[in-house]
Amino acid sequence: MTHAPWFPRCAARYVPLCAAGWFLAMALTPRGALSFGEQLADGVNLMLFVAAVSLFLLLLLGLLKRYGTPGGFRTAAAFLLLMPVLPLALGGGGALFGIMLLTQVVFATAVMPKPELLAV
């Protein structure tokens, strides 16, 4: 069994969900002193960082975890997907951090396609 078909399906589901969560978070975050264009540019850069790291971690997880149950895989994915969001907590963005955290957990527990795992 190969994990190649799983990762493109996973990425195709992750990117729209991440973008939707990010746009919701940007809409609920007060602008402050930044103009809309500056805030949008900062938001897009940070979203690309979170999404790129998350997809890389999912690729590694898909390649390394080949045994177990789908529930165990989803749990491991949920914990791994929290890592790219944790720097947002240090930035003081409460709504931004909360929505992106929720987006990552929803993806890992409900939206992510079922992985092809070998029986233990």
0.85 surpassed by pTM: no
Dump pLDDT digits (tens) for 7-28.
888 999 999 998 898 888 877 8
pLDDT at 14: 92
Q: Which two tokens stand for residue 120?
A: 């233990």
pLDDT at 102: 92
HEC per residue, the chain = CCCCCHHHHHHHHHHHHHHHHHHHHHHHCCCCCCCHHHHHHHHHHHHHHHHHHHHHHHHHHHHHCCECCHHHHHHHHHHHHHCCCHHHHHCCCHHHHHHHHHHHHHHHHHHCCCCCCECC
pLDDT at 62: 83
Q: Which residue has the tokens 């399906």?
A: 9
Dump pLDDT digits (tens) for 32-91.
777 778 777 877 888 888 899 999 999 888 888 777 788 888 888 999 999 998 887 787
pLDDT band of residue 118 (cuts 50, 70, 90) is: low
pLDDT at 90: 80
Buried b (16+ CB within 10 A) or exposed e, 73-93: bbebbbebbbebbeebeeeeb
Dump pLDDT digits (tens) for 76-89.
899 999 999 888 77
